[in-house]
């Protein structure tokens, strides 16, 4: 069953903590993306990766970090520097960057407590 | 700069009424336009892409380059169409840009 899996579904973070959101795909896609979804804001691009061991900042990368050590995996770390981390985070992948056949994960809702 | 505008945050219609969800874009190159839909508690999924010129679940969308629009239309709304709809723009050298979304509510 091919797809893209995000975990956990819900995550609670204390002020000052870093947390890492997992995104795994078995679609053999080269490109992966992280978006943040806020009510009334739509989806905003945090980071993207065109290929293994390469990633680029999106529109709202401040306070976030990523790695792409394996083709299947693109974890997102929300650092304590992110001022307003409470949001819904969506991971996506596509066969190639610039190919817009995106497949989305089911999302992780992060709440700062 | 590239931009996608969905002017309505919420569109409320009665079942059986026509629906038009507006999307305007700003891009000087050759655009690729898409509509994505997110039903309650489900993941975001592709509804339409302009190059396929197909009808999905009764929805159609036509790219109007003169008006830089890609409005989503359905002649007779169904209650199961209630969802969040996002217009998205793709092009040369950038990742998808999404609009802020329009929530469609179809009342019985």
Best to test chain A binding among B2, B9, B44 (most A CBs inside 10 Å): B44
For A78-98, what is each residue's pLDDT tens digit? 998 888 999 999 999 998 877
Q: Does the pLDDT at position A65 exceed 70?
A: yes
- Would you call A43 and B49 a contact, using CB atoms and an 8 Å cutoff? no
Query: Least CB-CB distance to A42: which of B43, B95, B101?
Result: B101
pLDDT of residue A62: 95
Sorted by sequence, the CB contacts under 8 Å of residue A95 that are 6+ apart come out as: A27, A28, A29, A30, A31, A101
Q: Does the pLDDT at position A1 exceed 60?
A: no
- pLDDT band for A50, please (50, 70, 90 cuts): very high
- pLDDT band for A61, please (50, 70, 90 cuts): very high
C-alpha span between B96 and B46 (Å, rounded) = 13
C-alpha span between B107 and A62 (Å, rounded) = 41
Q: Measured between CA atoms, how close is A8 to chain B, in angstroms?
A: 15
C-alpha span between A8 and B97 (Å, rounded) = 26
Best to test chain B binding among A31, A32, A43, A44 (most B CBs inside 10 Å): A43
Radius of gyration of chain A (CA): 13
For B14-51, what is each residue's pLDDT tens digit? 999 999 999 999 998 888 899 999 998 888 999 988 87
pLDDT of residue A19: 94
C-alpha span between A10 and A12 (Å, rounded) = 7
Distance of CA A51 to the CA centre of its chain: 15
Mean pLDDT in residue range B86-106? 90
CB < 8 Å to A58, chain B: 95
pLDDT of residue A102: 87
């Amino acid at each position: 069953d091919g797809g893209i899996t995000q975990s956990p579904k819900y995550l609670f973070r204390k002020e000052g903590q870093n947390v890492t959101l997992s995104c795994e795909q078995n679609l053999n896609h080269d490109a992966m993306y992280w978006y943040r979804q806020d009510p009334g804001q739509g989806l905003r691009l945090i980071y993207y990766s065109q290929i293994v061991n390469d990633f680029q900042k999106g529109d709202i990368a401040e306070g976030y970090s990523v790695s792409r050590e394996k083709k299947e995996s693109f974890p997102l770390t929300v650092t304590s520097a992110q001022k307003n981390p409470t949001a819904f985070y969506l991971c996506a992948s596509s066969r190639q960057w610039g190919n817009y056949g995106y497949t989305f994960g089911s999302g992780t809702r992060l709440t700062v407590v | 700069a590239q931009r996608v505008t969905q002017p309505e945050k919420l569109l409320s219609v009665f079942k059986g009424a026509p629906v038009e969800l507006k999307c305007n874009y700003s891009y000087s190159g050759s655009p690729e336009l898409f509509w994505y839909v997110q039903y309650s508690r489900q993941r975001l999924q592709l509804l339409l892409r302009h190059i396929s010129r197909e009808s999905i679940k009764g929805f159609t969308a036509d790219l109007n380059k003169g008006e830089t629009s890609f409005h989503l239309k359905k002649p007779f709304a169904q209650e199961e169409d209630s969802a969040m709809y996002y217009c998205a723009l793709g092009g040369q050298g950038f990742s998808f840009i999404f609009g802020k979304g329009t929530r469609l509510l179809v009342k019985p």
